Amino acid sequence: MNCLFCNSTRINESYLPSTIYNNKKFDYLRCSNCSLIYLNPVPSDEDLIKMYPPSYQNGVDRSILNNPNQKLIGLRYSYAKHFDLLRSINFKGKMLDFGCGNAHFIINSNHHGFNCDGAEFNPRHVSVLNNEISESDFFSVDEFFQSELKYDLIRLSNVFEHFTNPINMLNQIKSKLKEGGYLLIEGPIETNFNFALVFRKIYFNLRKKLQPSWIVAHTPTHIIFTNHKNQLDVFNCLGLSTIHYELAEAEWPFPQSFSKAEGLISKLNVVIARTSMILKKLNKNWGNTFIYLGQN
Protein backbone atom coordinates (compact mmCIF):
# COMPACT_ATOMS: atom_id res chain seq x y z
CA MET A 1 0.00 0.00 0.00
CA ASN A 2 1.35 3.44 -0.96
CA CYS A 3 2.28 6.00 1.68
CA LEU A 4 -0.76 7.69 3.23
CA PHE A 5 1.01 11.06 3.15
CA CYS A 6 3.09 11.32 -0.02
CA ASN A 7 1.79 8.31 -2.01
CA SER A 8 5.32 6.97 -2.44
CA THR A 9 5.85 3.30 -3.24
CA ARG A 10 9.24 3.27 -1.46
CA ILE A 11 7.96 1.36 1.56
CA ASN A 12 9.77 -0.75 4.14
CA GLU A 13 8.97 -2.57 7.36
CA SER A 14 9.13 -0.31 10.43
CA TYR A 15 10.51 -1.04 13.89
CA LEU A 16 6.98 -1.43 15.32
CA PRO A 17 5.73 -5.01 15.78
CA SER A 18 2.71 -6.30 13.89
CA THR A 19 -0.53 -6.69 15.80
CA ILE A 20 -3.54 -9.01 15.64
CA TYR A 21 -6.98 -7.42 15.91
CA ASN A 22 -10.42 -8.68 14.89
CA ASN A 23 -8.75 -11.86 13.58
CA LYS A 24 -6.59 -9.81 11.20
CA LYS A 25 -2.88 -9.09 11.07
CA PHE A 26 -1.88 -5.44 10.81
CA ASP A 27 1.65 -4.33 9.98
CA TYR A 28 3.37 -0.97 10.45
CA LEU A 29 5.15 0.25 7.33
CA ARG A 30 7.64 3.10 6.95
CA CYS A 31 7.82 5.39 3.94
CA SER A 32 11.42 5.91 2.78
CA ASN A 33 10.43 9.18 1.13
CA CYS A 34 8.72 11.12 3.95
CA SER A 35 9.39 8.80 6.94
CA LEU A 36 5.72 8.37 7.82
CA ILE A 37 4.92 5.12 9.64
CA TYR A 38 1.41 3.86 8.98
CA LEU A 39 -0.85 0.87 9.52
CA ASN A 40 -1.30 -1.67 6.74
CA PRO A 41 -4.00 -2.54 5.90
CA VAL A 42 -6.07 0.36 7.17
CA PRO A 43 -9.00 -0.85 9.31
CA SER A 44 -12.23 -1.71 7.50
CA ASP A 45 -15.62 -0.26 8.46
CA GLU A 46 -16.25 -3.44 10.45
CA ASP A 47 -12.97 -2.97 12.33
CA LEU A 48 -13.74 0.68 13.07
CA ILE A 49 -17.21 -0.10 14.43
CA LYS A 50 -15.65 -2.61 16.80
CA MET A 51 -12.91 -0.13 17.80
CA TYR A 52 -15.27 2.75 18.48
CA PRO A 53 -18.61 1.61 19.96
CA PRO A 54 -20.76 4.29 21.67
CA SER A 55 -19.23 3.28 25.01
CA TYR A 56 -15.80 4.36 23.70
CA GLN A 57 -16.72 8.02 24.32
CA ASN A 58 -17.93 7.44 27.89
CA GLY A 59 -21.11 9.50 27.61
CA VAL A 60 -21.16 13.24 28.31
CA ASP A 61 -18.92 15.19 30.69
CA ARG A 62 -20.43 18.54 31.71
CA SER A 63 -17.91 19.27 34.46
CA ILE A 64 -16.24 22.67 34.46
CA LEU A 65 -12.55 22.77 35.31
CA ASN A 66 -11.76 25.04 38.26
CA ASN A 67 -8.32 25.51 36.76
CA PRO A 68 -8.19 25.41 32.93
CA ASN A 69 -4.38 25.24 33.18
CA GLN A 70 -4.77 21.69 34.50
CA LYS A 71 -3.66 19.21 31.84
CA LEU A 72 -6.13 16.35 31.83
CA ILE A 73 -5.03 12.73 31.49
CA GLY A 74 -4.99 11.78 27.83
CA LEU A 75 -4.81 15.36 26.55
CA ARG A 76 -1.66 16.84 25.06
CA TYR A 77 -2.13 20.43 26.23
CA SER A 78 -4.35 22.17 28.76
CA TYR A 79 -7.56 23.90 27.73
CA ALA A 80 -5.92 27.15 28.82
CA LYS A 81 -3.29 26.65 26.12
CA HIS A 82 -6.05 26.41 23.52
CA PHE A 83 -7.92 29.40 24.91
CA ASP A 84 -4.72 31.49 24.97
CA LEU A 85 -4.07 30.66 21.31
CA LEU A 86 -7.61 31.71 20.42
CA ARG A 87 -7.24 34.96 22.32
CA SER A 88 -3.88 35.62 20.66
CA ILE A 89 -5.67 35.85 17.30
CA ASN A 90 -8.59 37.75 18.87
CA PHE A 91 -10.92 34.91 17.91
CA LYS A 92 -14.60 35.87 18.15
CA GLY A 93 -16.19 33.45 15.69
CA LYS A 94 -17.85 30.07 15.89
CA MET A 95 -15.83 26.88 16.14
CA LEU A 96 -16.44 23.16 15.83
CA ASP A 97 -14.67 20.42 17.78
CA PHE A 98 -14.21 17.62 15.23
CA GLY A 99 -14.13 14.30 17.09
CA CYS A 100 -15.52 15.97 20.21
CA GLY A 101 -15.84 12.79 22.31
CA ASN A 102 -17.71 13.46 25.55
CA ALA A 103 -17.93 17.21 24.73
CA HIS A 104 -15.90 18.23 27.78
CA PHE A 105 -13.87 20.75 25.76
CA ILE A 106 -17.06 22.19 24.25
CA ILE A 107 -18.68 22.65 27.66
CA ASN A 108 -15.56 24.37 29.00
CA SER A 109 -14.95 26.54 25.95
CA ASN A 110 -18.56 27.77 26.04
CA HIS A 111 -18.09 28.49 29.75
CA HIS A 112 -15.08 30.68 28.90
CA GLY A 113 -16.97 32.77 26.39
CA PHE A 114 -16.41 30.87 23.16
CA ASN A 115 -19.08 29.41 20.88
CA CYS A 116 -18.42 25.76 20.04
CA ASP A 117 -20.33 22.96 18.29
CA GLY A 118 -19.22 19.35 17.84
CA ALA A 119 -18.95 16.51 15.35
CA GLU A 120 -18.50 12.82 16.14
CA PHE A 121 -18.22 9.64 14.10
CA ASN A 122 -20.86 7.51 15.83
CA PRO A 123 -24.44 8.74 15.11
CA ARG A 124 -25.76 7.12 18.29
CA HIS A 125 -23.31 9.09 20.38
CA VAL A 126 -24.23 12.28 18.50
CA SER A 127 -27.86 11.70 19.48
CA VAL A 128 -26.82 11.46 23.14
CA LEU A 129 -24.84 14.71 22.88
CA ASN A 130 -27.74 16.59 21.29
CA ASN A 131 -30.13 15.35 23.97
CA GLU A 132 -27.82 16.25 26.84
CA ILE A 133 -26.32 19.57 25.67
CA SER A 134 -28.79 22.15 24.39
CA GLU A 135 -26.38 25.08 24.11
CA SER A 136 -24.40 23.53 21.24
CA ASP A 137 -25.23 21.66 18.04
CA PHE A 138 -23.79 18.23 17.31
CA PHE A 139 -23.49 16.40 14.00
CA SER A 140 -22.31 13.05 12.80
CA VAL A 141 -19.26 13.39 10.56
CA ASP A 142 -21.36 12.40 7.54
CA GLU A 143 -24.01 15.00 8.41
CA PHE A 144 -21.36 17.65 8.84
CA PHE A 145 -19.67 17.03 5.49
CA GLN A 146 -23.00 16.86 3.65
CA SER A 147 -24.24 20.12 5.17
CA GLU A 148 -23.64 23.69 3.97
CA LEU A 149 -22.18 24.63 7.35
CA LYS A 150 -18.82 26.38 7.57
CA TYR A 151 -16.95 27.44 10.68
CA ASP A 152 -14.44 30.10 11.66
CA LEU A 153 -12.28 27.46 13.37
CA ILE A 154 -12.22 23.68 13.48
CA ARG A 155 -10.38 21.89 16.29
CA LEU A 156 -9.03 18.34 16.32
CA SER A 157 -7.69 16.89 19.56
CA ASN A 158 -6.21 13.38 19.49
CA VAL A 159 -8.05 12.77 16.21
CA PHE A 160 -5.59 13.27 13.33
CA GLU A 161 -3.64 10.09 14.10
CA HIS A 162 -6.83 8.01 13.76
CA PHE A 163 -7.58 9.00 10.14
CA THR A 164 -7.48 6.11 7.67
CA ASN A 165 -7.19 8.57 4.77
CA PRO A 166 -5.53 11.59 6.38
CA ILE A 167 -4.97 13.77 3.30
CA ASN A 168 -8.52 13.36 2.02
CA MET A 169 -9.98 13.94 5.49
CA LEU A 170 -7.92 17.08 6.09
CA ASN A 171 -9.00 18.47 2.72
CA GLN A 172 -12.64 17.79 3.58
CA ILE A 173 -12.22 19.51 6.94
CA LYS A 174 -10.48 22.47 5.31
CA SER A 175 -13.41 22.82 2.89
CA LYS A 176 -15.64 23.44 5.92
CA LEU A 177 -13.62 26.46 7.01
CA LYS A 178 -14.76 29.94 6.17
CA GLU A 179 -12.38 32.14 4.19
CA GLY A 180 -9.60 33.09 6.59
CA GLY A 181 -10.73 30.39 9.02
CA TYR A 182 -8.41 28.46 11.32
CA LEU A 183 -7.47 24.84 11.89
CA LEU A 184 -6.36 23.96 15.44
CA ILE A 185 -4.84 20.50 15.89
CA GLU A 186 -3.17 18.80 18.83
CA GLY A 187 -2.06 15.23 19.32
CA PRO A 188 0.84 12.80 19.52
CA ILE A 189 3.82 13.01 17.19
CA GLU A 190 5.06 9.50 17.73
CA THR A 191 8.11 9.13 15.48
CA ASN A 192 9.57 12.55 16.21
CA PHE A 193 12.97 12.44 17.86
CA ASN A 194 13.13 12.25 21.62
CA PHE A 195 15.25 10.40 24.15
CA ALA A 196 12.48 7.96 25.09
CA LEU A 197 11.90 7.01 21.44
CA VAL A 198 15.54 5.94 21.11
CA PHE A 199 15.03 3.36 23.87
CA ARG A 200 11.75 2.15 22.38
CA LYS A 201 13.32 1.67 18.94
CA ILE A 202 16.27 -0.23 20.41
CA TYR A 203 13.91 -2.51 22.34
CA PHE A 204 11.57 -3.16 19.40
CA ASN A 205 14.38 -3.76 16.90
CA LEU A 206 16.27 -6.06 19.26
CA ARG A 207 13.22 -8.11 20.13
CA LYS A 208 12.18 -8.46 16.48
CA LYS A 209 15.69 -9.65 15.66
CA LEU A 210 15.76 -12.17 18.50
CA GLN A 211 12.13 -13.21 18.00
CA PRO A 212 11.22 -12.81 14.29
CA SER A 213 7.72 -14.21 14.84
CA TRP A 214 6.91 -11.67 17.58
CA ILE A 215 3.39 -10.27 17.17
CA VAL A 216 1.44 -8.26 19.72
CA ALA A 217 -2.32 -8.02 20.24
CA HIS A 218 -3.56 -4.48 20.76
CA THR A 219 -6.29 -2.37 19.16
CA PRO A 220 -4.59 -0.47 16.30
CA THR A 221 -6.48 2.81 16.67
CA HIS A 222 -3.50 4.95 15.63
CA ILE A 223 -3.15 4.76 11.86
CA ILE A 224 -0.37 7.28 11.21
CA PHE A 225 2.81 7.97 13.19
CA THR A 226 4.33 11.31 12.27
CA ASN A 227 7.37 13.50 12.87
CA HIS A 228 7.45 17.29 12.87
CA LYS A 229 8.77 17.56 9.31
CA ASN A 230 6.30 15.32 7.47
CA GLN A 231 3.49 16.73 9.55
CA LEU A 232 4.27 20.36 8.71
CA ASP A 233 4.79 19.41 5.06
CA VAL A 234 1.23 18.06 4.96
CA PHE A 235 -0.23 21.14 6.65
CA ASN A 236 1.67 23.41 4.25
CA CYS A 237 0.51 21.40 1.23
CA LEU A 238 -3.06 22.07 2.32
CA GLY A 239 -2.37 25.73 1.65
CA LEU A 240 -2.57 26.71 5.31
CA SER A 241 -0.40 29.46 6.77
CA THR A 242 1.22 28.37 10.03
CA ILE A 243 0.31 30.74 12.87
CA HIS A 244 1.68 28.61 15.70
CA TYR A 245 3.46 25.26 15.92
CA GLU A 246 4.85 23.90 19.15
CA LEU A 247 6.25 20.60 20.37
CA ALA A 248 6.28 19.34 23.94
CA GLU A 249 7.42 16.18 25.70
CA ALA A 250 5.06 14.11 27.84
CA GLU A 251 5.57 10.88 29.82
CA TRP A 252 3.22 9.09 27.43
CA PRO A 253 3.32 6.24 26.48
CA PHE A 254 5.23 5.48 29.69
CA PRO A 255 3.68 5.72 33.20
CA GLN A 256 3.16 9.25 34.53
CA SER A 257 4.68 8.58 37.94
CA PHE A 258 6.45 5.98 40.07
CA SER A 259 3.22 5.43 42.01
CA LYS A 260 1.53 4.30 38.80
CA ALA A 261 4.45 2.12 37.72
CA GLU A 262 4.26 -1.58 38.54
CA GLY A 263 7.50 -3.52 38.59
CA LEU A 264 11.14 -2.62 37.98
CA ILE A 265 10.85 -2.26 34.19
CA SER A 266 7.88 0.07 34.50
CA LYS A 267 9.73 2.22 37.04
CA LEU A 268 12.73 2.35 34.69
CA ASN A 269 10.38 3.61 31.99
CA VAL A 270 9.36 6.47 34.29
CA VAL A 271 13.04 7.43 34.63
CA ILE A 272 13.47 7.31 30.84
CA ALA A 273 10.35 9.42 30.30
CA ARG A 274 11.39 12.08 32.81
CA THR A 275 14.92 12.21 31.40
CA SER A 276 13.44 12.65 27.94
CA MET A 277 11.30 15.54 29.20
CA ILE A 278 14.38 17.28 30.59
CA LEU A 279 16.46 16.74 27.44
CA LYS A 280 13.67 18.12 25.25
CA LYS A 281 14.74 21.60 26.41
CA LEU A 282 17.91 21.21 24.30
CA ASN A 283 16.03 21.33 20.99
CA LYS A 284 12.65 22.86 20.14
CA ASN A 285 12.13 20.25 17.40
CA TRP A 286 12.28 17.33 19.84
CA GLY A 287 9.13 16.09 21.55
CA ASN A 288 6.27 13.61 21.32
CA THR A 289 3.23 15.92 21.36
CA PHE A 290 2.30 18.89 19.17
CA ILE A 291 -0.14 21.75 18.83
CA TYR A 292 -0.73 23.53 15.52
CA LEU A 293 -2.72 26.58 14.51
CA GLY A 294 -3.00 27.33 10.80
CA GLN A 295 -5.07 29.78 8.78
CA ASN A 296 -6.96 29.10 5.58
What's the CATH code of the domain at 135? 3.40.50.150
Is residue 285 one of the residues assigned to a domain?
Answer: yes
Residue 161 lies in a domain: yes
Flag whether 25 is in a domain.
no
- The answer to whether residue 5 sits within a structural domain is no
| Predicted confidence band of residue 244 (pLDDT cuts 50, 70, 90) | very high
pLDDT tens-place string over residues 113-144? 999 999 999 898 999 999 999 999 999 999 99
Q: Is residue 205 situated within a structural domain?
A: no
Check if the beta carbon of residue 28 is closer than 8 Å to that of residue 41: no
Our measurement of the distance from residue 50's CA atom to the centroid of its chain's CA atoms, rounded to an integer in Å, reads 19
CB 85 within 8 A of CB 184: yes
Which domain, by its residues, includes 181? 49-190+227-295
| Separation CA 103–CA 120 (nearest Å) | 10
pTM, two decimals, is 0.93
The residues near 32 (Cβ < 8 Å, ≥ 6 apart) are 8, 10, 11, 12
* Contact between 16 and 25 (Cβ < 8 Å): no
How many CA atoms within 13 Å lie on the side-chain side of 216? 12
pLDDT tens track for 176-220? 999 999 999 999 999 999 999 999 999 999 999 999 999 999 999
